Amino acid sequence: MHAVHQDPGLKHFYRHKLQQKGLGKARVAAARKLGIRLYIMLCDQIDYEEFCRRGQLPQKCGSAHAGMSDRNHGPAVQ
pLDDT above 90 for 21 = yes
Concatenated DSSP letters of 27-55: HHHHHHHHHHHHHHHHHHT--HHHHHHHH
Using pLDDT thresholds of 50, 70 and 90, give the confidence band for residue 55: confident
Predicted pLDDT at 62 = 44
pTM above 0.85, yes or no: no
Query: What phi, psi does 68 have (nearest 5°)?
Result: -105, 150
Computed on alpha carbons and rounded to an integer, the radius of gyration of the chain in Å comes to: 16
**Do the Cβ atoms of 36 and 10 come closer than 8 Å?**
no
The contacts of residue 39 (CB under 8 Å, 6+ apart) are none
DSSP conformational letter for 65: G
pLDDT above 70 for 14 = yes
Taking all residues of the chain, what is their mean pLDDT, rounded to a whole number? 80
